[in-house]
Amino acid sequence: MSVPRARLLDLMKAQCQVFATTFNPEGIRMGNKVLRQRLKGPALAAYYPRKLASIKDVKREFGPVLATWDDAEEDRFEYIEE
Amino acid sequence: MSMFRAKKLDLGCFVKARTIRDHTKRKVFEEHEAERQALRYVIRNTTLPPRTRATAQLQLSQMHCYTRPTQIRNRCIMGGQGRGVLRAFKMTRFNFRMEAMAGNLPGVKRASW
Full DSSP string of chain B: -TTTS-SS--B-S---HHHHHHHHHHHHHHHHHHHHHHHHHHHH-TTS-HHHHHHHHHHHHTS-GGG-GGG-----TTT---SSEETTTTEEHHHHHHHHHHT-STT------
**Burial label, B75 (beta-carbon count in 10 A; 0-12, 13-18, 19+):** buried
| pLDDT over 80 at A57, yes or no | no
What single DSSP character describes residue A35? Answer: H
Instruction: Please tell me the predicted confidence (pLDDT) of residue A1.
Output: 67
* Domain-embedded: residue B5: no
Chain B residue numbers touching A34 (CB-CB < 8 A):
37, 40-41, 44
Domain that holds residue B56: 16-73
CATH number at residue B68: 1.10.287.1480
ipTM, two decimals, is 0.80
Return d(Cα B86, Cα B22) in angstroms, integer: 17
What is the per-residue pLDDT across B74-86, written as a single tens digit (0 to 9) for each?
A: 999 998 899 999 9
Looking at the fold, whether B64 and B92 belong to one and the same domain comes out as no
Query: What is the average pLDDT across B47-76?
Result: 94
Is pTM beyond 0.90 here? no
- pLDDT score, position A52: 79
**Which residue of A lies nearest to B32 if distances are taken between CA atoms?**
A41
A7 in contact with chain B, both atoms CB, cutoff 8 A: no
What's the mean pLDDT when you consider all of chain A? 84
* Domain assignment present for B31: yes
- Same-domain status, B43 and B63: yes
**CB of B63 within 8 A of CB of B36?**
yes
Residues B92 and B59 in one domain: no
Task: Please determine, for residue B55, whether its predicted confidence score (pLDDT) is greater than 70.
Answer: yes
Regarding whether B80 and B67 lie in a shared domain, the answer is no
B52 touches chain A (CB under 8 A): no
Q: What percent of chain A has pLDDT over 70?
A: 96
Our count of domains for chain B comes to 2
